[in-house]
Structure 1
Amino acid sequence: MTRALRVAIVGAGPAGVYAADILTKSETPVDIDLLDRMPAPYGLIRYGVAPDHPRIKGIVNALHRVMEKPEIRFLGNVDYGVDVKLDDLRRHYDAVIFSTGADKDRELDIPGADLPQSHGAAEFVYWYDGYPEAPRDWTLEAEQVAVVGAGNVALDVARVLAKQADDLLRTEIPDNVYQGLKASKVTDVHLFARRGPAQTKFTPLELRELDHQDGMELVVHPEGFELDEASEEAIRTNNQVKTIVKTLQDWALRDRKDNTPRRLHFHFLRSPAEIIGTDRVEGLKTEVMELNGDGSVRGTGEFETLPVQAVYRAVGYLSSPLADLPFDHGTGTVPNDGGRVLDLDGEHIPGVYTTGWIKRGPVGLIGHTKGDALETINNLLADLDSFTPAEQPERDSFLRLLDERAVEYTTWEGWNLLDAHEKSLGEAEGRERVKVVPREDMVRISRPES
């Protein structure tokens, strides 16, 4: 091929940006378009991580540096499956990589999960992160709240629920989120983990950050705080597990306070069995679990019920199917072999690849997507000789297609305008930025010439 390899990456979150970065560092000349259905880049970082997350800024700065590379062009507000189809992309690009992540809540299959005031964690995260397609109102009338899950998303949800709204004013939260949290009646947030403290999926930094929140007491309940042989082995051999267990043990031994307005409780070896209620949530019934010795658990047949008025289900995310691609509904992934997308017969669809959570499922930290991307890109580069060249590889030809379909796409230059606008809104309030939420406003600010 005498010209640069034309590649479309659908999804401009960390997985897509990492894939683009690795491609630009290869010996193959490349010309990459990063497409996203949102008018702004960064995906999970902008719309899936709590605004007070301690490492957001560093990750965004790293992604920003990648997207400024001349080989990479950002095209936002382009909805794959609506504005463009797979055939369109294959006509304009030599290869297509899907990195669309996971955008929905995995279901919690217990009675009562669909009661009013039983919420998926993603719904709440989208609200407090200002996701354009999320409802802008969220009523926090419950005093006692349960959060089901033992990962960082559960920790984020529990922390935001238990935190004082004024402590979030230094972040980029929109005003409606601040007002909603300010009006919250929450006094106690109960986080339930199905397994023991050594089996949680928290990361030490996020866990220890909880100890720096004003007006919030951390309560680790001794019932269920157990370690088996596998737990002890994990503590000996894994510094992360050791830190997590030590932190929780220290909190469990503290004297209780009696003057904090809010409390965050940790309950271990408690598996959700039923959400109680008639026309709304009235309680959470859990089964007491016990460790098997290998880190797994079994039910004891003993149950407990805690009166709560809301439940937040943080049991995992799930990806959405993509138009014109096979999809495994059980795993929530696009079938693939090392990132090579497979058809229904298990054969590689030429020139089509995937990376990130849509490839392997929503597990692991953001940094783990680098390894996914490296595997996918290595396989893509190994397949170069088998590619069918794009019929219309010119850079402007794809923009003409978008113009013909009246797609109001945004660009990297447009993102810089929106970024500066959000920072100016924040500067007026003594904050780093205030996020613009409505899609039409994001597009208008990003496309001042329109």
Structure 2
Amino acid sequence: MTNVSVKRLSAAQADFDTALAKLLAWDDSVDHQVNESVRHILHAVKTQGDSAVLAFTAKFDQLEVEQVADLEISQARLDTALNTIPQAQREALEAAAARIRDYHERQVQASWQYQDEDGTVLGQKVTPLDRVGLYVPGGKAAYPSSVLMNAIPAKVAGVAEIIMVVPTPAGVVNDMVLAAAAIAGVDRVFTLGGAQAVAALAYGTETVPAVDKIVGPGNIFVATAKREVFGTVGIDMIAGPSEILVICDGQTDPDWIAMDLFSQAEHDEQAQSILISPDADFLDRVEASIRKLLPTMERADIIAESMSQRAALIKVADLAEAAQVSNRIAPEHLELSVQDPEALVEHIRHAGAIFMGRYTAEALGDYCAGPNHVLPTSGTARFSSPLGVYDFQKRSSIIGFSAAGADRMGRVASVLARGEGLTAHARSAEYRIKSQGE
């Protein structure tokens, strides 16, 4: 039977800060071999276009075709997938899509402007990106929920064209992923994967159009490629392993909490699951539930490795201290499994998504709650936010001076420009200043 040993920490221990830092440490440094391989692929696709894409697709996905156009999946094929998947799957996808769309429609930012006392117009024009690339993992790791979470906010933002890439190793296509693309309104789909797909989206080829931003999860080669092409295109984020932090007052069923911890641990061995509670007996009961339930899990080996290496049960003095520790961690997912989550959430400053109350399993957020499941990891919730409509919109400043405004502010600009030694700037502003005799 699979064994698991979960670390115990106490906020009262003398070396708690050091122990917590060690627990949270995750080495995201890119392997040099991976880096060199990715750079080679990016350069080849940038300089050779379609021919490089075909060569890498044959090499890595065992998929040989005559031309890149043969890797494009038609809209008719997407519709066929939607119409042939089991009805329960279609209804679940459509229900999730409706909730995701409803939530994200509330995020849309509008353009605005105002007029100052001189009649000068100032404002902000909000426009969507023209074209976005969506990377979707293929093969065994097929995530139709990722298609919905990435594509729907882009469409709500007004993005004109979404190009989806999804690897199909040995030609294996996941119909649920294609059905999700149909529901979300994806415009074009190519069966491409890996760094070569990221390169094709970033630089464009004879067949694959260049995009303005690339979003979506992938393996280390995809993540490294996204990091490398950032600047040529925008990216969503560099994501680390999945994380869950549960704060519990000791009154929730320990089996529920154990399974919530498993829900992240089953992603991969690097995923992190942490429980914080002021109730030491409750931590014991949850550990007993972990041991009891682990043998029943399909991915028991992965969960056991994740829980043994990266999980922790942390004892704190009270819920106020739990909030302090949580803010130090800045988790991707935070469950407030307490009697009064509304009171506790007031003390939370850093978290990707906050799940309120005993009945709010983090898994609901992954699929169908409505808010986005693309969240900041590895403590980056200190300064970044969930993926949303705002990631697919950009802002332009609007500045329109009246004659009176140009006269008044031109005098200010003149002084500042001459102070910086930029006389052309100063004279450009001074041309619009009324002469003293007028």
Structure holding more strand per residue: 1
Question: Would the TM-score normalized by the shorter structure come out above 0.5?
Answer: no
TM-score using structure 1 length: 0.25
TM-score using structure 2 length: 0.25
